[in-house]
């Protein structure tokens, strides 16, 4: 078996995107189009070459991966010319797999089939059957064998009726590819060096071109504008949702669920509508996510209830916890087992001990809270003095009365009780009632309004 090199064409501008970004940097499921192709290429190939042109620097800088070989195509003179730019770096005794930076949903199994055929036959071409083949290069067959590819603009009326089209994706023995490419010219309607011309050359040299026909149109669909981008995003999401459901995830409406990253889950998890998952998210067993939640980079335990309209980012949520509705869990937060974070509560960079409750309208930031603490409605940890952030520590079993402000740095002792409406500026001892507010007085006679 020869090793495989990927050559990914990504030099085009993609003017129909109407964007300052090169086309291959548009994103699908939060990953660039080129990123999707690279992922597939790297899974199969020993080396990956990316041919860049328009916005080449911008494309290069978007990928930190040192293993990518960048090749410059200064002028876009055609697909054959583009592939040729990579050939000097490729060893003859290998297979070259040609991919496209704007064809993001190609699947590993298809590429495996194609490269396996190329190992045997020297040349293997991926085609697809289209109801409307307009615009594509047509596959010319004789006795069922591929003979040539004729571009739309060079085709005659009979050829234009052919519905089997070239996807552009092919796998070719590198030594042969070099020979064929050196003979490609630009004598065609577009004055371009066509990669597709190598097919007729191979046939002319007595080769049988192996054929793989793509099963799914989406795998070979290119992205030229924002409508096609949105259509492929939908396909991607639907495919992914189907996989999740097959693995046992309950999705109330798979068309209203987006995972733009990685999701893992245990058994019997349920996700309601309009939930967006980003980054790396894991759910334990029996966890439910109610409508309209956005969850990014989070580890969520067993039996957790995420109630409607909650946002969670870079956080760990313990088993049996309840979050929301309308909760915001910000980065570096750890919510303990069976803790409850209620509505309109924001928690930032804090650890909340097991069984603690922050049920209503609170801000808790830079706080280490013990177990079984009760935070009354409207409590605020005042963690910022305008320059620095300060820490609040709250001991196990403490009870903070509603509408209190805890001015950090501050330690509230174990089982401390803070009277409602207090502004606490100094440490509060264990097991004691601390309060700071003026005694209530009532004037004997109400002042006259005049
Ligand atoms: C090409 C194929 C056509 C096929 C179609 C599938 C040729 C001659 N034709 O046509 O048979 O049906 O793809 O979509 O190959 N690119 C470069 N450098 C260049 C030219 C192109 O990097 O000099 C890149 C483009 O960025 C694009 C891809 O190659 O991603 C295809 O180029 P494009 O000009 O769009 O080819 P088509 O005319 O669509
Ligand atoms: Ca073209």
**pLDDT tens digits along 266-309:** 999 999 999 999 999 999 999 999 999 999 999 999 999 999 99
| Vertex 201 angle, CA 200 and 204, to 5° | 85
Where would I find the H helices in 218-299? 226-246
Q: Is 390 labeled as catalytic in the residue annotation?
A: no
- Strands 94-100 and 164-173 come out as antiparallel
Confidence bin at 14 (pLDDT 50/70/90): confident
- Burial tier of 135 (Cβ tally within 10 Å: 0-12, 13-18, 19+): exposed
Class of domain 226-434: mainly beta
From 168, 185, 194, give the residue whose CB has the most ligand 1 atoms within 8 Å, as the site to mutate.
168
Question: Which of 35, 32, 42 is CA-nearest to residue 5?
Answer: 42
**φ, ψ (nearest 5 deg) of residue 404:** -95, 150
Residues in the ligand 1 pocket, defined by CB under 6 Å = 9, 11-12, 51, 73, 76-79, 81-82, 100-102, 136-137, 149, 151, 165-168, 194-196, 222
Please name the helix (run of DSSP H) or strand (run of DSSP E) that holds residue 191, with its range, or none.
none
Which ligand has its closest atom nearest to the C-alpha of 196? 1
Assign a CATH topology to domain 4-220: Spore Coat Polysaccharide Biosynthesis Protein SpsA; Chain A (3.90.550)
CA proximity to 236, closest of 218, 214, 263, 220: 218
- Name residue 233's beta-bridge partners: none
Kindly report, residue by residue over 414-450, the tens digit of the pLDDT: 999 999 999 999 999 999 999 999 888 888 877 666 6
Residue 372 has pLDDT above 80, yes or no: yes
Predicted local confidence at residue 12, as pLDDT:
85
Q: pLDDT (tens digit, 9 = 90+) per residue, 341-365?
A: 999 999 999 999 999 999 999 999 9
Report the mean per-residue pLDDT for the chain: 97
The pLDDT value recorded for residue 445 is 77
What residue ranges do the domains of the chain occupy? Answer: 4-220, 226-434
What's phi and psi for 386, nearest 5 deg?
100, -20
Determine the pLDDT at residue 363. Answer: 98
| pLDDT score, position 447 | 67
Contacts of range 319-326, beta carbons closer than 8 Å, 24 or more positions apart: 319/284, 324/290, 324/293, 325/290
User: What pLDDT is stored for residue 315 in this prediction?
Assistant: 99
How many other CB atoms are there within 10 angstroms of residue 388's CB atom? Answer: 9
Residue to mutate (ligand 1; options 6, 7, 12; most atoms within 8 A of CB): 12
Per mean pLDDT, which range of 12-16, 30-34, 102-106, 137-141 is the poorest? 12-16
pLDDT digit string (tens) for 130-159? 999 999 999 999 999 999 999 999 999 999
> In this structure, which ligand is nearest to the CA of 101?
1
Q: How many Å lie between the centroid of ligand 1 and the Cα of residue 31?
A: 22
Q: Which residue has the least CA distance to atom 8 on ligand 1?
A: 194
**Residue 317: pLDDT above 90?**
yes
Q: Could you identify the atom of ligand 1 that is nearest to the CA of residue 82?
A: 18
pLDDT for 450 equals 62
Question: Could you give the count of Cα atoms lying within 13 Å of 378 in the half-sphere of its Cβ?
Answer: 8
11-15, 259-263, 377-381: which has the minimum mean pLDDT? 11-15
**Confidence tier at 201 by pLDDT (50, 70, 90):** very high
CB-based contact 360:343 (threshold 8 Å): yes
- Percent of the chain at pLDDT exceeding 70: 99
Name the closest ligand to CA 100: 1
Average of per-residue pLDDT across 178-184: 98
Q: Whose CA is nearest to atom 25 of ligand 1?
A: 12
Q: What is the mean pLDDT of residues 310-332?
A: 99
By CB neighbour count within 10 A (0-12 exposed, 13-18 middle, 19+ buried), where does 382 fall? Answer: middle
- The Cα 125–Cα 169 span in angstroms is 7
């Amino acid at each position: 078996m020869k090793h495989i090199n990927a050559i990914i064409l990504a030099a085009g501008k993609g003017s129909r995107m109407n964007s300052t970004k090169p086309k291959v940097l548009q994103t699908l499921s939060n990953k660039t189009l080129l990123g999707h192709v690279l992922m597939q290429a790297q899974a199969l190939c020993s080396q990956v070459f990316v041919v860049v042109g328009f916005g080449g620097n911008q494309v290069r800088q978007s990928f930190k991966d040192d293993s990518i070989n960048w090749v410059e195509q200064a002028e876009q003179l055609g697909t054959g010319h583009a592939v040729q730019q990579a050939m000097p770096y490729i060893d003859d005794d290998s297979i070259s797999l040609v991919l496209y930076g704007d064809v993001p949903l190609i699947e590993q199994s298809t590429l495996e089939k194609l490269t396996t055929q190329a190992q045997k036959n020297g040349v293997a071409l991926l085609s697809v059957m289209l109801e409307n083949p307009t615009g594509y290069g047509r596959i010319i067959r004789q006795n069922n064998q591929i003979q040539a590819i004729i571009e739309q603009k060079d085709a005659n009326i009979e050829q234009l009726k052919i519905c089997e089209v070239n996807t552009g994706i092919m796998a070719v023995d590198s030594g042969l590819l070099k020979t064929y490419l050196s003979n490609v010219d630009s004598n065609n309607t577009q004055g371009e060096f066509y990669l597709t011309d190598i097919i007729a050359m191979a046939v002319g040299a007595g080769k049988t071109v192996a054929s793989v026909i793509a099963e799914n149109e989406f795998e070979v669909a290119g992205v030229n504008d924002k409508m096609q981008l949105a259509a492929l995003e939908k396909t991607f999401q639907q495919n992914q949702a189907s996989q999740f459901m097959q693995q046992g995830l309950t999705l109330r409406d798979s068309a209203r669920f987006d995972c733009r990253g990685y999701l893992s889950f245990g058994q019997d998890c349920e996700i309601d509508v309009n939930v967006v998952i980003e980054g790396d998210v894991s759910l334990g067993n029996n966890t439910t996510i109610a409508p309209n939640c956005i969850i990014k980079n989070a580890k969520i335990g067993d039996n957790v209830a995420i109630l409607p309209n909650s946002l969670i980012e870079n956080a760990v949520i313990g088993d049996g916890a309840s979050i929301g509705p309308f909760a915001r869990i910000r980065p570096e937060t750890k919510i303990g087992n069976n803790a409850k974070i209620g509505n309109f509560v924001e928690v930032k960079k804090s650890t909340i001990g097991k069984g603690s409750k922050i049920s209503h309208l609170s801000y808790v930031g830079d706080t280490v809270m013990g177990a079984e603490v009760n935070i009354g409605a409207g409590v605020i940890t005042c963690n910022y003095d305008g320059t620095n952030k300060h820490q609040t520590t709250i001991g196990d079993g403490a009870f903070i009365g509603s509408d209190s402000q805890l001015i950090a740095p501050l330690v509230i002792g174990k089982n401390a009780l803070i009277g409602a409406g207090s502004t606490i500026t100094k440490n509060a001892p264990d097991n004691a009632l601390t309060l700071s507010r003026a005694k209530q007085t009532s004037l004997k006679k109400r002042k006259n309004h005049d």
